Amino acid sequence: MRASLVQIDVNEIESADERRVRIAELVRAQRGVADLVVLPELWTLGGFAYEAWADGAETLEGPTAEAMSAAARDAGVWLHAGSIVERDPEGPLCNTSLLFAPDGELHAWYRKIHRFGFDSGEAAMMAAGEELCVVDTPFGRMGLATCYDLRFPELFRAMLDQGAELFVVPAAWPARRVGHWSLLARARAVEEQALVLACNTAGTHAGVPQGGRSVVVDPWGTVLGEANGDESGSAEEVLTVSFDPEVVARTRAEFPVLRDRQKW
Ligand SMILES: NC(=O)CCC(=O)C(=O)O
């Protein structure tokens, strides 16, 4: 199997509408290249562009979902379309990730549980998701998490208990802490003996340089592929990586550390 992680440059020069059109074409270009395409967190508006969120919020049938559904269908790929600022007609804003099947159907969505910003930004403007999301895919049982969630191992352990074999993590993770991002992606892979596909944002938006370094890690902690990025910033890149979903079962059988869990 092959996955393409699209580490999108999110900046204020390109509008959300322009970016949506451009990225849909980029997804279409993955036809025959990848089986699974992954986009980052809040890539239309920007993960730190708080002032744009209220006006740019969408529903699960909004312009981003519509464009990504069509792109997944045209490309014939599974598409984790990163996340949108979701405005539930009945409720508050949420940071919601979307997973499309190759026929364009919305297969799953996940509302980010851990909101970043302590008492401001996302933590003040958005409601927290309340439900885990673990779904069957041709790549194994897939658990969805978003950005700051990566810092909370108990979330990943709970998804493991629902059978998760791979985790897909879109992010808008700043360059300043990109070392944490790389470390935590590998840690989650090793502790859950799972594949981790973590797709970060590139460029600078709202004055916050993004760290890039999107990565695919196998259950042994081996980095199968990593995009550009460091503490000073990052550039757009499509990272295509081959992976074997069977490696999860093999690793868990050969080194059965999860069997030794103690519960108290
Ligand atoms: N968008 C985010 O969740 C940012 C997370 C972050 O910057 C961090 O955990 O550090």
- Identify the residue whose C-alpha is closest to ligand 1 atom 1: 172
Name the catalytic one among 86, 94, 112, 133.
Answer: 112
Alpha helix ranges (H) inside the chain? 16-28, 50-56, 63-75, 122-125, 153-161, 178-192, 247-254
Pocket mutation for ligand 1, best pick of 48, 177, 182 (most atoms within 8 Å of C-beta): 177
Assess if residue 136 is contained within a domain: yes
Q: Tell me, in angstroms, the distance from the centre of ligand 1 to residue 42's CA.
A: 12
Assess if residue 7 is contained within a domain: yes
Assess if residue 10 is contained within a domain: yes
Assess if residue 56 is contained within a domain: yes
Q: What is the CATH number of the domain that holds 251?
A: 3.60.110.10
pLDDT recorded at residue 90: 73
- Identify the residue whose C-alpha is closest to ligand 1 atom 10: 177
Name the catalytic one among 94, 133, 147, 199.
Answer: 147
- Sheet bearing 223-226, strands edge to edge: 134-137, 140-144, 166-170, 195-199, 215-217, 223-226
Q: How many domains, in total, are found in the chain?
A: 1
pLDDT recorded at residue 263: 84
Assess if residue 64 is contained within a domain: yes
In what helix (H) or strand (E) does residue 111 lie, and over which residues does it extend? strand 106-111
Domain with 170 in it = 2-255
Assess if residue 263 is contained within a domain: no
pLDDT recorded at residue 171: 99
Assess if residue 89 is contained within a domain: yes
Rounded Cα distance between 249 and 245, Å, is 8
Catalytic-residue membership of 263: no
The pLDDT tens digits along the chain (264 residues) read 999 999 999 999 999 999 999 999 999 999 999 999 999 999 999 999 999 999 999 999 999 999 999 999 999 999 999 999 999 777 799 999 999 999 999 999 999 999 999 999 999 999 999 999 999 999 999 999 999 999 999 999 999 999 999 999 999 999 999 999 999 999 999 999 999 999 999 999 999 999 999 999 999 999 999 999 999 999 999 999 999 999 999 999 999 999 999 988
Catalytic-residue membership of 199: no
In this structure, the residues whose C-beta lies within 6 A of any atom of ligand 1 are 41, 47, 116, 147-148, 151, 172-174, 177, 180
Assess if residue 262 is contained within a domain: no
